Structure 1
């Protein structure tokens, strides 16, 4: 199975699009992620959701809002709370994973390959077949 990130953006408004994707694709929901990283002593979060392939397809899309939200474990941002509430309505919880910040990679493609590797390693998404 091949997985690919589809970046919705880095801004706050993109979270609303991600919430709509979750709402309209409830039957395809596979897993939700809060990917945290640190840059210059500031912790940020990327919100992502992996959807099951359509029909006989072997393609798993992972929609992401990359590093656009400040992350605080003790007091999540309003958008992070909205994301978590949306996932909770499906009876699920988002997985929180600490990763390296995308700025250390020379290309976003390399960053996404790194994140897919972590997700596969921890069996959050299926292995490449």
Structure 2
């Protein structure tokens, strides 16, 4: 099953868009992710959600707000708390995964291939069939 990241952006409004995607696609919800990375001693998070394919499609979209949210394990940001609350309303929890920062990759396409590899390796998303 092919998977592809769809980047929404990094800003505050983009998280609201991600939450709306989750709410309007509850029946397609597969998995939510909080992806943490560190650059220049600052830890940031990316919020992402994988949806099951629509109808007879074999395509799995993964919507992401990339690295725009400061991450503090002891004191989550308002955006992270809103994301986690939205996921909890579905009776699920987001998976927290520590990853490499996207800035070490020469292209965002390589970064997203890296993420898909990690997600498949840990069986968070289905293997390519």
**Alpha-carbon distance in structure 1 between the residues aligned to 2:15 and 2:37:** 18
Q: 1:126 maps to which residue?
A: 126
Q: 1:86 maps to which residue?
A: 86
**Alpha-carbon distance in structure 2 between the residues aligned to 1:64 and 1:50:** 9
Q: 1:16 maps to which residue?
A: 16
**Alpha-carbon distance in structure 2 between the residues aligned to 1:77 and 1:10:** 14
Task: Please report how far the alpha carbon of residue 119 of structure 1 lies from its aligned counterpart in structure 2 after TM superposition.
Answer: 0.1
**Alpha-carbon distance in structure 2 between the residues aligned to 1:92 and 1:71:** 21
What is the alpha-carbon root mean square deviation over aligned residues? 0.4
Which consecutive aligned stretches of 4+ in structure 1 deviate over 4 angstroms post-superposition? Answer: none
Gaps spanning 5+ residues in structure 1: where? none
Task: Please report how far the alpha carbon of residue 55 of structure 1 lies from its aligned counterpart in structure 2 after TM superposition.
Answer: 1.2
Q: 2:73 maps to which residue?
A: 73
Question: Residue by residue, what CA displacement relative to the aligned partner does 1:51-88 show, whole Å, maximum 9, x if unpaired?
Answer: 00011111000000000000000000001000000000
TM-score in terms of structure 1 length: 0.99
Q: 1:29 maps to which residue?
A: 29
